[in-house]
């Protein structure tokens, strides 16, 4: 692990977190811990309106920071976007969102970091280059390697358009075959465009390429 990607274990009122030592190395998918609603401002559950007393204890959702009774905030769910080491207590609404995000972290991000091969066309050029495209380990850059090398910062990407084929008027499955990516050049207002196309002569990699494109589509959301 390079020094720029080093992490440290920190403790907060919400639990243990493994976070990057340097804030600049944070994942663009990360979330800051929310401020907790002060106990004195929360005499009742913010979901079911049950009054708190010696028997009915109050709990704070680690994702939204609001105050709930045990019934409304009983689930402990992984929260990778806040770098928690263990599952943490969340209200029902936040738990559903976090469960969907956990699937994204467990599946789509791994697909993106493993990478896939595409023909990449820069701007309006009529020439394409075969490149391996992957998400960097710190999740901050899209890295493209071939005869050329590009690193595009995820937060600079403005548009992700997935190209598909296979749709029929009567309905049917479509398959992701490419992508048009637009991004800003750091330090200027210039917008660059790249087109990614899955190679037809790499039939064994079509499924991998389609999975990578589907994961990239989820990233854009």
Lowest-confidence segment of 165-169, 173-177, 190-194 by average pLDDT: 165-169
Query: Do 59 and 120 belong together in one domain?
Result: no
Cβ 130 vs Cβ 117: under 8 Å: yes
Give the pLDDT confidence of 78-105 residue by residue, as tens digits. 999 999 999 999 999 999 999 988 888 8
Domain count within the chain: 2
Domain coverage including residue 22: 7-111
Tell whether the model's pLDDT for residue 199 goes beyond 80. Answer: no
Boundary residue ending a domain (111, 132, 149): 111
Locate the DSSP E strands across the chain: 7-12, 15-20, 58-60, 67-69, 75-77, 88-90, 116-122, 128-135, 141-145, 149-153, 157-165, 175-184, 191-197
What is the distance of C-alpha 5 from the center of its chain? 18
pLDDT computed for residue 200 by the predictor: 64
**Mean per-residue pLDDT for 198-214?**
75
pLDDT computed for residue 3 by the predictor: 45
pLDDT computed for residue 176 by the predictor: 81
Local confidence band at 201 (pLDDT 50, 70, 90 cut-offs): low
Boundary residue ending a domain (111, 136, 156): 111
Lowest-confidence segment of 4-18, 92-106, 132-146 by average pLDDT: 4-18
Residue 1 inside a domain? The answer is: no
- Sign of the Cα torsion 167, 168, 169, 171 reads negative
Tell whether the model's pLDDT for residue 174 goes beyond 80. Answer: no
CATH number of the CATH domain containing 158: 2.30.29.160
pTM, rounded to two decimals = 0.76
Instruction: Give the closest residue to 89 by CA, choosing from 52, 71, 63, 50.
Output: 63
């Amino acid at each position: 692990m390079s020094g720029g990607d080093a992490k440290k274990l920190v403790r907060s009122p919400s639990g243990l977190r493994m976070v990057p030592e340097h804030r600049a190395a944070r994942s663009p998918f990360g979330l800051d811990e929310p401020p907790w609603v002060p106990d004195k401002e929360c005499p009742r559950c913010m979901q079911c309106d049950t009054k708190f007393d010696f028997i009915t204890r109050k709990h704070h959702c680690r994702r939204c920071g609001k105050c709930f009774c045990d019934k409304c905030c009983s689930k402990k769910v992984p929260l990778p976007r806040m770098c928690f080491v263990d599952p943490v207590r969340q209200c029902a609404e936040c738990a559903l969102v976090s469960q969907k995000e956990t699937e994204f972290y467990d599946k789509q991000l791994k697909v993106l970091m493993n990478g896939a091969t595409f023909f990449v066309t820069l701007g309006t050029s009529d020439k394409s280059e075969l490149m391996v495209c992957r998400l960097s380990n710190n999740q901050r850059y899209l890295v493209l390697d071939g005869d050329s090398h590009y690193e595009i910062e995820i937060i600079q990407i403005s548009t992700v358009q997935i190209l598909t084929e296979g749709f029929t008027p009567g309905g049917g499955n479509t398959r992701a075959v490419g992508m048009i990516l637009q991004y800003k050049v750091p330090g200027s207002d210039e917008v660059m465009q790249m087109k990614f196309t899955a190679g037809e002569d790499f039939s064994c990699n079509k499924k991998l390429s389609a999975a990578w494109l589907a994961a990239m589509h989820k990233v854009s959301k």
